[in-house]
Chains A and B, each alone.
Chain A
Amino acid sequence: MRTVTKAFLRYLPRRRSLSLLQLLGIACGVAAAVGMAYSARASLSSFAQAVEFLKGRATHSMERPAGPMEESFLPQLMRDPAVEAFSPVIDRRLRLKDGEVVRFLGVDPFLDQAFRPEITRAQLSARTFPNPAKALPFLLEERSILVDAHLAQQLGLTPGDHLMTSRGDLRIVGTFPNPSGEPLVLMDIANAQKLFELPRQFDRVDLILAEDAAFRSRWAVGFRLQSSLQRRASLSDMLQAFRLNLQALSLLALFVGVFLIYNTAMFAVVSRRKDAGILRSLGAKRGEILLAFLAELLLLGALGGVLGGLLGFFLSHFLTTLMADTISNLYFFLRPTPLDWSWWVLLISVLLGCGASLLGGIFPLLELVRVDPVQALQGRTGSRRARVSAIKAAIAGLGIMALSLALLALPSAHVYVGFASAFGLLIGASLISGITLILFGPFLQRGFHRLHGLPGKMAAGNIRQNLGRTAVGVAAFMVALAMAIGLGTMIGSFRQSLVWWMETQLQADLYVGKILEFEVPESFYEELRSLSGIGGVDPYRNVQIEYQQTPIYVSAVDAAVLQKYTHFGWLKGGNENWEPVKKGAVIVSESFSRRFGVHAGDRITLGGIHGSAQLAVAAVFYDYTSEHGVVMMDRATYLKIFGDRTINSLGIFVDARDPLRQQILEEVQRKAQDRGLPVLTRHQLWGNILAVFDSTFAVTRSMRVLAILAAFFGIAGALLTLFMERQREFGIYRALGFSARQVAGMTLMEGLGMGLVSLLLSTGLGTALAFLLIRVINLRSFNWTIFYFPSWDPYLLAVVTAILASLGAAAYPIWKVYRTYPQIQIREE
């Protein structure tokens, strides 16, 4: 039915403003989903490439359970019949002077040829070194490095230049190709040992093994052996919770997009109702009307998809950078590069836009084909019918919300159930927007009458009378505001929980060293311990190990010092929990406890340098260091099990009442700086941690902004449709003597009224969502408790957003009123 389809499609260019709003709404939803998915893919792709590249041809890697390895066992390793090749590696991070962090590898260029020939070839090839003798500086000069070609180009450096780093200037003697995209710096391993103060030590040995099982049995005690696949899986596992939450955010963004499309489709249904009636009276079948409307939906969906795909691609570049920081800060070093443009992005975006259009348009489609032609022809919008529909929708909505809440009551429900509940709550709440407008109608009328007299009263009446448009616009805006409140409250509560945690655990006056970048020499630790006036020095070590084939963290501390100077957040008991730790027991973080079902009084087994060690669990403490779990022990216990004397940082405690306190702290700072070690005060450390936290949630905040933007287009679309559908009505106003100002005021009140109802609904929904995120989703994703810290901020922000968005949404219709009102007459189309 070409003419019928033509009749519907021509509405799009005819109502350009509305079509544009609808298009932008769809585009926002698609952009958010595509941007998030594409950037996640970029991160994972970079991760896979980096792992592959760095692994080279290694079949296995071997390391100590914790801490660096010694060279002394290498001869024995060399003689093992299963070992075809081996290469000791130092794998660290290096901070450049501009703040960027790059990966640093220290390798033996001769042994490493079997593993990473592309790199070692570059070290020793005639191309990089036209004169082979020039290869010698790389081996012999202590501070000479090779830099990957892309990084060199990025920094504008060539061989002969110096790379300024936190460990001093390093001379670039050559470059090498690096297909992984991850910035990489290479140094001869002997020079690297000097640079990182690892005398006769390295981080791991990469191996090419002829066979696996026998080798494992020979090296079972005191070593951790992982095949390349295991290592990759282990790294991938670490990202699991993070990926899950990213997926949820994408889905949430798409949900808002689908909702908007539903919004869009409902507007179209309302304005096509009369046309549908005419067509039915002329003998058109329901199917023909459905197909015509479907064509319109799919066209909008396709165009919105294209636009959203393009926006999403650009957004993914921004999000990839954010994700890179988050992953690197929280999990492991990763520098993903944004993916290149691919036409698949457009294709998938179009499919997404069309799919979302179909999903969002199902109910409106059914509504349209079931339209009563008699009512439609008479122009009756069926307000009673709308009321009945609103009641039915509310009943369905309450049912969905009840089901969603019931799901949460399941004790062992997976985190997906939490997400499903959240979506259920949003959908259910959306369905009660109509009845809310009906119930709130009288209050709005009284209020607006006081505010703006008769036009105000009429505005409230219009909102109620045009439920088909206003309810959907309100629902979309409510969902976006609720998401903003829920996410804002969750982030705020998490931040406050983090502050509380820092106040309980991070109580040192100074922190010397920087985890993953600087280690503190044990001699300095001893020196500070003996310094007069020092209350206590906590030698902190944090290392990733495997527990039940899952990555966790082990922390070594001075239990006596922490008992004296800190007040850990214990799930049960108080600082008396340190007593057994001083005697060899351990304490575990809440994440560890929930993840592995370990409680106070249980025993755990860790693989140490001398084999398995059974340890009693003294207590469980609240901790946000890692969602994978932390096992904390006294340094003496750590040394006994792992033999690793590395110290990542020192916590310096000085008695608050000591009159020489300030001088003591200054002396410690001076001594540390003399050794080139970074020093932070307690508050500086807290600030850094909070900065990492804030950057971690940058992605979430971006999605929040997009969702609000998408919903703004929804409410703007509702207002514009209301304006466009009521031209005849405006003619009547004019005939009755209403001024343009009064009609503009009415339009403004309609916008504010919808915004107000959205806001009121969103406060309840947003609070419920916050609880869900805090008590269920976060807990089941990350296994840690976030305490609910109520704050006015998210609600105030929602109020401001609602007011500004309502005003903004009303701006264009108001402008149209002033532009067209004087000419409007009562006319039939």
Chain B
Amino acid sequence: MQPIIRVVDVWKEYSKDGQNGSAALRGANLEIAAGEVVAIYGKSGSGKTTLLNLLAGLDRPTNGRVEVEGQDLESLGEEGRTHLRRERLGFVFQFFNLLPTLTAFENVFLSLELTGKPNPVAAHRALQAVGLEGKEGRFPHELSGGEQQRVAIARALVKEPAIILADEPTGNLDTRTGDQVLDLLASHCRRFGTTLIVATHSPLTCQFTDRVLRMMDGLVTEEKTAPEKLS
């Protein structure tokens, strides 16, 4: 079966003042099947976020090919990539990235509005599913970190995407809250067959996933060590 995500010999270099600079990715290769829950594990600066941005079409590789659902992102063009993010991808960030002037409900509803299916009931249900019933009318600054991240997850899940990209989703949360959030994410994705890719530097996060890919020096390798033994 065709993988839902395929990355082939992808390089991402950043030039400094027109000269050769650093390379965040140096010929990365990976394949992820539909419905998998995968951790991309690596230290800070190893290129995890860069990889997620490339998968989301927010950034473009210097070399190589990124395919999502069999489509080469480069050939899709900007409009195609926007459509992909709108319809098929959900994004969860480390720092939540909720729109501060919208309530919890509105932040979730925004996702549906973008897909052209503005269904308030679905938005309410999504918030309910993440345990935020009764807090729909609160603004982000009126919510705790964990609650904000739940809103962000609801925003990502509500449109029933094929893939969810989560960049250090627990990086800004305490351990207990982080575990709750990860459990929520992973269980939902497994239930609905949504592919989940979590970028993380924490071995604890890897325990929630089926598969771990290690990022080191811009390269991706399959991690054979058991998650609890990762360091």
What is A's interface to B at a CB cutoff of 8 Å? 1-4, 6-8, 10-11, 14, 274-275, 277-285, 373-374, 377-378, 828-829
Contact = CB atoms under 8 A, between A and B. Distances in A.
B99 interface: yes
Interface stretch (B37-45, B109-117, B184-192, B213-221): B109-117
Given A7-B101, A10-B101, A828 B96 contact: yes
A282 B114 contact: yes
B85 interface: yes
Given A282-B111, A374-B53, A828-B172, A3 B102 contact: yes
B101 A14 contact: yes
Contacts of B101: 6-8, 10-11, 14
Given A6-B101, A7-B106, A279-B99, 13 more contacts: A2-B113, A3-B102, A7-B110, A10-B102, A274-B97, A282-B114, A283-B82, A283-B83, A283-B84, A284-B86, A285-B79, A374-B59, A377-B58
Interface residues of B, number: 35
21 contacts: A3-B106, A3-B113, A4-B113, A7-B99, A7-B102, A277-B97, A279-B99, A280-B82, A281-B58, A281-B91, A282-B114, A283-B82, A283-B83, A283-B85, A283-B87, A283-B114, A285-B79, A377-B93, A378-B49, A829-B100, A829-B141
A629 B89 CA distance: 77
Nearest to B91: A281
B95 A828 contact: yes
Contact of B97 (A4, A278, A283, A285): A278
Contacts of A277: 97
Nearest to A1: B113
Contacts of A378: 49
B58 A373 contact: yes
Interface string B101-134: 1100010011101110000000000000000000
A6 B96 CA distance: 20
Nearest to A275: B99
B162 interface: no
B91 A282 contact: yes
Main secondary structure of the interface of A (DSSP, over half): helix
Nearest to A12: B101
B47 interface: no
A828 B145 contact: yes
B83 to A, nearest CB: 7
A290 to B, nearest CB: 13
Contact of B86 (A4, A274, A282, A828): A282
Contacts of B140: 829
B56 interface: yes
B58 A285 contact: no
Contacts of A374: 53, 58-59
Contacts of B106: 3, 6-7
Contacts of B91: 281-282
A10 B109 CA distance: 16
Contacts of A3: 102, 106, 109-110, 113
B102 to A, nearest CB: 5
Contact of A281 (B49, B56, B113, B141): B56
B21 to A, nearest CB: 12
A285 B82 contact: yes
B96 A282 contact: no
Contacts of B89: 283
A10 B87 CA distance: 26
Q: Which 10 A-B pairs have the closest CB atoms?
A: A283-B86, A10-B101, A283-B85, A3-B110, A7-B99, A278-B97, A283-B114, A7-B101, A7-B102, A373-B58
B106 to A, nearest CB: 6
A279 to B, nearest CB: 8
A617 B173 CA distance: 93
Contacts of A377: 58, 93, 97
A95 to B, nearest CB: 63
A629 to B, nearest CB: 62
A1 B111 CA distance: 11
Contacts of A10: 101-102
Contacts of A6: 101-102, 106
B17 to A, nearest CB: 8
A371 B79 CA distance: 15
Interface in B50-105: 53, 56, 58-59, 79, 82-87, 89, 91, 93, 95-102
Contacts of A2: 113
Given A280-B58, A374-B59, A829-B140, A4 B93 contact: no
Interface in B122-170: 140-141, 145, 155
Contacts of B155: 282
A393 B3 CA distance: 47
Contacts of B93: 281, 377
Nearest to A15: B101
B203 to A, nearest CB: 24
B175 to A, nearest CB: 18
Nearest to A373: B58
A282 B95 contact: no
A366 to B, nearest CB: 15
A87 B102 CA distance: 77
A622 to B, nearest CB: 58
Contacts of B110: 3-4, 7, 282
Contacts of B56: 281
Contacts of A280: 58, 82, 85
A10 to B, nearest CB: 4
Nearest to A13: B101
A283 B57 CA distance: 10
